[in-house]
Structure formats: structure tokens, C-alpha cells
Structure 1
Amino acid sequence: MRITKELNERLTRVGPGTPMGELFRRYWIPACLSEEIPEPDSPQVRVRILGEDLIAYRDSSGAVGLVDAYCPHRKAPMFFARNEECGLRCVYHGWKFDTLGNCVDMPTEQPDSKFRYRVTMKAYPTYEAAGIVWTYMGPQEHTPEVPDQEWMRAPATHRRVSKSGEHCNFLQAIEGGIDTAHSSFAHNNDLENPRLLRNLDRHPKLDVDFTDYGFRYASLRNVGNDTTYLRIYQFLLPSQQCRGFLVGLDGKTPEMPGMYGHIWVPIDDENVMVYNTLASADIDHPISDEWWDAHESEMGRGVPERIPGTYWLQRNAANDYLIDREVQRTKTFTGIEGVNTQDYAIQEGMGAIVDRSTEALGSTDRAVLACRRMLLKLMDEMETGTAPAGTEPETYREVRGADALVPTGTDWRDAAKEMTLTYW
């Protein structure tokens, strides 16, 4: 499938009124982390999603609002508003709005004025679960059920979530996430160890199945001794990957088998916020703060690795991701620290929106092609009045990815029936 410049525009533009933007607006998507607005009446935060500037806040009752970033009166910035008594009060003229966008006080008008009843602020519904504030930005009559995935149902002691901003279009970030072949190269962090599983076979065979919630695909690598390294990925619409972690890169079972995933939420056409999810798949293995902090730093996105007070990385294009050429020559394939940072260096380095019309795709790009075909099909169908797939929880609530070493010749679909069973 050749992606023309016109199709590339259709796939990558996400602002209001664009086909892809309207598709995203038909799903519940993350707006921010719960930790960003931790307490009632805590300071509000700026949020930018799908090209729209918004404000997220927690009111006095604990309810979360996601409202326009600018007051409807004279467009003053609501970031500077007072969060008080179940509403945001604009500091310019004192107009106050609740989480539903209703104007509840207009002190500049006469006490008997009814004008406030005719003034509203744009507000989107929210749903808080698993450490994330989710929002639905589409037509009210098409509002789907709230999300319900296995990692979300895990106890708080057994799940974690983080996020980091990336300066590129959401689609090239997704395509990096669902590209299994690059891990043999970009994430080879031990050049002296040729026995790493992903290095034993650098040309994995890929197989893709479309599903009611998106698609799933298998990566199969021949790692010797009549053994295949099988990794099953799940792609949940509109922009989420779920995979297992049951086998370590050295072929050993890790201490904590888990479910890993990413949710890519477009900030605008040229930036994306990446939510990283992890849940332990075993009741006997909660996730400690120490383990999580070490994991996030290893990925390159822990608190010490971020620009202070933000979710953006210190290693970035402005400093060439602090690449160390000597480390690249002798120790790691890229010379860049952090798996997450390695991905960002490559994906951001392609430019804000990569020109897909000049690509030369190979056999390991089948999942990338599947994603593009699926999104194009969904946009076409939505424009003819067909509801997009994957909006109802029953289609995905039991979905889980898997990793395993299996006998060569094993049918991965048969293996998946046993390996992808949910626990929570």
C-alpha cells in the first residue's frame, strides 16, 4: 500500500474538523494524569489535546473538570483562575464556571441579571480510573462506555502509569511502538552479548490479524534449539499498544511478569503525549516504588531524566540526546541512554511529520501497514455514518499480550489462547 502525500495528510492531521481528529474524538482518551491535579482545589494544569487548549482541574468536591483554556467573556487565560468553592473563577472579571462549563457567578453584572444563564464554557466529560483522567471529546449522542482494560482493573498496588511528551506526529510515534524489528538494533544495549534473544534472529516473521478492537500481531524469532521466541502484541483503537513481558531479553523469566503498554495521545499535529502503562500479572508481585523508579530511569523518562516540573525529557534534540560516540562504538548500538530516549531520538529526528510517500517498506513493516490501513478504513467508514470499531469494552476488556519461548512450529494463535488469559 503506497501512502501518497494526500493520504499522509489524512493520517496525520488531528485538529477539529479533520478526519483523524474526529476519529480520535469518538473514543475515551487520556487527558492528564491524576497526579497532576492530586487534591480538591489544587492548582489547575494546562492540557493540549487534538489541537485544543484546555484546563484540567479538581474542584472542591473532588470532581474533575476539563474546560476551555480561555474565559468566554474576554478570552482571559483560565490557567490563572482561582480554583475555589467548586469552580474556576477568572481573575480578570470574576466570572466563575463549574466543571460542566456552566457560569455560576457573574459579579460584574447586576444582581438581578439573567445573563449568566446564557453564557457557557466549552467543557468535556471526564472519567478517572487507573491514575488517568480520561475524556471524551466527540458528539454527546455517540458517547461510548468508559474504558475497561485489564491493566486498569489491577489493584493500585499492582499497576503504574507515567507519561512523557514527544516532539513529533502521533503516527510516527505509534509506528515506532508497534515495530518489533527495530528492537534488535536501536535497543541493543549490550554489544558484547550476542545471546540476547532479539539479537539471535534479527529478521522476525510477522503475522497480523484484524480484530473487533483493532488488530493483534505476532513476532516470531528463531532462537535455536528448535525454539521460537514468540511475542504477541495487541493494538487497541484508536492508539494503544498492549504487550506481555513474560520472558526477559536473556531468555530468563523475570521476577515480575507483567503487562506493558503505551497510549499515544496527539497534542496537535506535531507533538504527542505518550502514556506508559504497566501492571503486574501476578497477585504475589506488587510493584514497589523503588522498582518503578528504577524502571522509569532505565527507560530514560524517570523524574530525574525530565526537565524539572514537566513531562518532557532533558535528553532531547537540542542537545542531540547527549549521544556518546565512544559508548556507541564499544557498548550500545546508539550511544544514547534510555530505551525511551532512543526511540524519541529516531522518531523526532524524522521531522515533525514524516513524508511516507518516499518510504521503502519491507516484510517486518506488516504491523505498520496494518495500522495505516485500519485507520484509513475507519475514517472512510465514519464519514459514511458507520460507528468506529473498538469503542465498546466487551470487545477488548479481556485482551492481553504475551511473551514466551515455544517449540518451533507452534501455531501462535493456538498458543495465544493459553498465554493471553487475563487475571484481573
Structure 2
Amino acid sequence: MLSAADNDLLTRTGAGTPMGQFFRRFWQPVALSRELPEPDGAPLRVNIMGERLVAFRNSDGVVGLVDARCPHRGADLYFGRNESCAIRCVFHGWQFDIQGRPVELPNVPPDASYHDTLRLKAYPTREYGEVVWAYMGPEPWGRDLPEVPQLEFGSLPASHRFVTKKLQECNWAQSIEGALDTSHFSFLHMPAPCVRSNENPDAPADEKRLRWIREDPLPEFSILDHEVGFVVGGARRADGGTRYWRSAQFALPSHSTTPSTLPGETHFGYTWVPIDDESCWIYTYAWNPDRPLTDDERAKFSEGHGVIAEVDARFFPIRNRANEYLIDRTHQKHISYTGVRGVAEQDAMIQDSQGRIHDRTQEHLSASDAAVVRFRRTVLAGAKALARGVEPEAPRKHEAYRLRSGSWFASEGVSFDQVMLERFGDAVGHVPAAAREPAPAMK
């Protein structure tokens, strides 16, 4: 369990909080590129870590991210005009460029100091992997900004990836803890005990893997640290005296990858971005480094499949807190363990059920919570160090974010780092240098 003070430190990401300052040292996803499809198009509301912002793609195609409130009298710039490489408030015509500099102040005398001194809060952006990223740290327009983390999905041609997001109605930390907790797979995502996986259309893996996960609900955990986080492995008993290993990555401050992928299969990953302390966006991406995704795969992902939730046009999950995730008790009795359709939706249901902000002072952890404990220690240590004036090193190691995880089989007695070497050619899952060049785009 955590103390009340540490639980508060972990979960609060507003601008004046230690964790909020830590998060702001890293580039954060703020929108999907397709949400801002054209220059001079409609602005987009962006709420992140308690800040109300507006994004707009200017006349040159560059995304601006600025304070939602006009500094004149606080009108909402979401209703503004996106024109002439700047956002214009429709109240009195004040206009600002993507760096927050005034372009035109029609009702201000030409010799007034406002023209030189007034600034609208603005953050620099980059686009990588069909995601708009923003840097919200100190001196955001300085020359020495870190690079966007080079997560592998973004380095590949667009044909090899699918990127989306979904709203999560709870604090960011308990949601990422759910993703790092591989032991819950023995229950939460299982078919009902009386059902074989091939009789359950919602089953998230093949029958053998599901059987091994179900039959061994207490995996043996190993954790290896690396320069931007850690990788966790869970070993379960498999057939023929072998062990079935599942590995998952955590990278600072809030990136993770899923553990099930076998060679040749598609990888999945997430990035959690706090909206406020009681909700977050989960950016979810699927990628295959070896081949383009098929039309059938894209269709499934678009409709919701596995860890990719079914969402509406606003990226709000169809099955959510308000409608009790459309839980079907008959389905729960006869088909699935939860009665809720979809792996992503099952995760959301249980994470939301912990409360808007989980009270970690009341929990009783076990050995299977090793990755959750390491996650907490890692991010708390980073936030506390920054509060003492020690800047995090991970934002400057953008290449180290090219990480993979997934499944493998090994004999008894084989160590986790050896498993990772056999599976990925690297002891902690770095993408081998030979694989870092993007695959050729398919015509």
C-alpha cells in the first residue's frame, strides 16, 4: 500500500504538482493528427493535466496549441477564426500565432506596449506516428528541447500501423497499473469456466495460451530495468516442461506495451495522458514491423478489437461507466468471465470500479503485484527527484523508447534476460539496430 501523501503525489498532475511537473518534462500526446485534418480548419478543444487549451492547424499545416482563454477578456478561442497562420478571437479580433505572439490587436493603440509584451500561453508541437505531441515543460520555445520519444510504431510507414485513442473515466495511474498487471489475465479476460475459447468469439488469444494462463494464475515475475523504465516478465507453466513467458514494457512517464505478441503477430501499445485527476486519454496503437496491416485488420480495429475499444466519433467508449459497460449477466454465466464484451472494455470496467482515484492506502498487495510496485516506485522517485532539482534523464534518450514486448517459450531454469535475448535479440527488448530502418512503403 501507499501512504496518503504518496497516493496524492502519484495521482495529481496539475501544473503546480510534483507529478505534473514531472510529466511536463516529457512530450505528451494531445490529439490524433486526423482530428486536425486541414490547414485553417476548425480548432480542437484539448484538455490536458488540468489545462484548457485549443489546438489548430495553421495555414502552413503546422499545429498550434494555445491557452483556450483570450488574454483580453477571457473569451474561448475554440470559437475563434483559424486564419492567416494564426488564431483570432471573434470577440474583439485579437489574433495570435502558434508561439502565442500577437499578430493583430485591432482595438489596442499602435504604440501600446501590448504589441511587444503580451503573450498567449502556447506550447510547441510535433507530429510523429499520426499523433500530435506537445512539450509543456519549462522554456518550451527554447532551443534545447528533447526529442519526441521514438516509439517503434511511429517510425514505420503508415501502412504498418493503426492509431486511435479512447476516454478512460478514472485516474491515469490506476489505468496503467491495470495494463502492467499481467496476472489478472487469468481471470478478467477469460471465457467462462465452462467454455472453450473457440466457443467464445470474444476470447483474446488462442486456446493453448488461454489454457496455460487460466491454469497458472500465479506467474513467476522478473523485472529488468532499462534507461527509460523497465520490462516485466511473467512465466507460467506450459506443455512439455516448458514455461510460457509474457513480457510487457513500461517507459516513462506513461507508455506501455502488451505482453501476448508471438513472432509475426501484431504488437500493441498505449500512452496514458491525464485530462484531469479523474480521467485520461489512452492513445492506443497497433503495429506490425514486418508487413502492412491488412484491410480486414484495419476494419476490425476501427470497430473495436482486443485492446482497442469500440468508440464513437468523439472517441468515447460505447461501453462505459454510465451504461455499466453494457454488462450481460447471462453472457457472464455462460460465455465470458465478466459479461462485458471486449478486452479494452473489461479493463476499463474494473479500473473505473476502483474509484475515480484509487485509494492505495486500503489495499493489500501480493507477489503478483511486482510490476505495479515497481511502476509506483519509478514514477514517484522521478517526481520526488525533480522536486529536489534533479532533472529526469529519460526525455533525452528518445531512441531508447524503441522497445518491443511479447510472448516466448523457454525451458525451466532459463532466466528472463535470456528469454528476452532469444525473443528480441536484446536483453530488455530494444529494437535491434538492423530493424530500426522503416520497412519500404507498400504501393
- The TM tier, using the shorter chain, reads over 0.9
For residue 7 of structure 1, give the secondary structure of its aligned residue in structure 2.
helix
Q: Does 1:214 align with 2:229?
A: yes
In the TM superposition, what is the alpha-carbon distance from 1:292 to its structure 2 partner? Answer: 2.3
In the TM superposition, what is the alpha-carbon distance from 1:245 to its structure 2 partner? Answer: 4.5
Which moved further from structure 2: 410-419 or 107-116? Answer: 107-116
Q: Does 1:345 align with 2:349?
A: yes
In the TM superposition, what is the alpha-carbon distance from 1:176 to its structure 2 partner? Answer: 0.4
Residue 200 of structure 2 is matched in structure 1 by none
Structure 1, unaligned runs of 5 or more: 248-252
RMSD: 1.8
Residue 259 of structure 1 is matched in structure 2 by 267
Q: 1:63 to 1:394 in 2, by over 3 A?
A: closer
For residue 8 of structure 2, give the secondary structure of its aligned residue in structure 1.
helix
Residue 135 of structure 2 is matched in structure 1 by 136
In the TM superposition, what is the alpha-carbon distance from 1:395 to its structure 2 partner? Answer: 5.9
Q: One-letter code of the match for 1:175?
A: E
Q: 1:386 to 1:295 in 2, by over 3 A?
A: same
2:81, 2:158 → 1: CA distance? 31
State whether residues 244 and 400 of structure 1, in contact with CA within 8 Å, keep that contact through their aligned partners in structure 2.
no
1:382 to 382, 386, 411: 386
For residue 346 of structure 2, give the secondary structure of its aligned residue in structure 1.
helix
State whether residues 378 and 389 of structure 1, in contact with CA within 8 Å, keep that contact through their aligned partners in structure 2.
no
State whether residues 244 and 258 of structure 1, in contact with CA within 8 Å, keep that contact through their aligned partners in structure 2.
no
Q: 1:300 to 1:420 in 2, by over 3 A?
A: closer
Which moved further from structure 2: 114-123 or 172-181? Answer: 114-123
Which moved further from structure 2: 98-107 or 219-228? Answer: 219-228
State whether residues 213 and 395 of structure 1, in contact with CA within 8 Å, keep that contact through their aligned partners in structure 2.
no
In the TM superposition, what is the alpha-carbon distance from 1:316 to its structure 2 partner? Answer: 1.3
In the TM superposition, what is the alpha-carbon distance from 1:406 to its structure 2 partner? Answer: 2.2
For residue 326 of structure 1, give the secondary structure of its aligned residue in structure 2.
helix
Q: 1:106 to 1:90 in 2, by over 3 A?
A: same
In the TM superposition, what is the alpha-carbon distance from 1:298 to its structure 2 partner? Answer: 2.3
In the TM superposition, what is the alpha-carbon distance from 1:28 to its structure 2 partner? Answer: 0.8
1:377, 1:115 → 2: CA distance? 42
For residue 318 of structure 1, give the secondary structure of its aligned residue in structure 2.
coil
Residue 173 of structure 2 is matched in structure 1 by 171
Which moved further from structure 2: 133-142 or 81-90? Answer: 133-142
Structure 2 length as normaliser, TM-score? 0.89
2:329 to 310, 322, 325: 325
Q: 1:113 to 1:5 in 2, by over 3 A?
A: closer
Residue 238 of structure 1 is matched in structure 2 by 253
- 1:14-413 equivalence runs, <5 A: 14-111=13-110, 113=112, 115-140=114-139, 143-189=145-191, 191=193, 192-193=195-196, 195=208, 196=210, 197-243=212-258, 245-247=260-262, 256-282=264-290, 285-296=291-302, 297-299=304-306, 305-307=310-312, 309-393=313-397, 396-413=400-417
In the TM superposition, what is the alpha-carbon distance from 1:412 to its structure 2 partner? Answer: 1.9
2:321, 2:259 → 1: CA distance? 31
Over the matched positions of the two proteins, sequence identity in percent amounts to 38
Q: 1:64 to 1:290 in 2, by over 3 A?
A: same
1:379, 1:300 → 2: CA distance? 29
Structure 1 length as normaliser, TM-score? 0.92
For residue 375 of structure 1, give the secondary structure of its aligned residue in structure 2.
helix
Q: How many residues align?
A: 411
Which moved further from structure 2: 130-139 or 201-210? Answer: 201-210
State whether residues 67 and 120 of structure 2, in contact with CA within 8 Å, keep that contact through their aligned partners in structure 1.
yes
State whether residues 232 and 244 of structure 1, in contact with CA within 8 Å, keep that contact through their aligned partners in structure 2.
yes
After superposition, give the CA deviation of every residue in 1:209-232 in whole Å (9 maximum; x if it has no partner).
222111111111112211211112
State whether residues 200 and 223 of structure 1, in contact with CA within 8 Å, keep that contact through their aligned partners in structure 2.
no
Structure 2, unaligned runs of 5 or more: 197-206, 426-430, 437-443
In the TM superposition, what is the alpha-carbon distance from 1:398 to its structure 2 partner? Answer: 4.1
2:100, 2:133 → 1: CA distance? 17
Which moved further from structure 2: 290-299 or 87-96? Answer: 290-299
1:199, 1:172 → 2: CA distance? 24
After superposition, give the CA deviation of every residue in 1:294-339 in whole Å (9 maximum; x if it has no partner).
135223855xx324x3111121122111100000000000000111
Q: 1:383 to 1:46 in 2, by over 3 A?
A: same
Q: 1:123 to 1:289 in 2, by over 3 A?
A: farther
Which moved further from structure 2: 83-92 or 392-401? Answer: 392-401
1:397, 1:175 → 2: CA distance? 19
State whether residues 257 and 268 of structure 2, in contact with CA within 8 Å, keep that contact through their aligned partners in structure 1.
yes
Q: One-letter code of the match for 2:387?
A: E
2:347, 2:401 → 1: CA distance? 29
Q: 1:225 to 1:209 in 2, by over 3 A?
A: same
In the TM superposition, what is the alpha-carbon distance from 1:185 to its structure 2 partner? Answer: 1.0
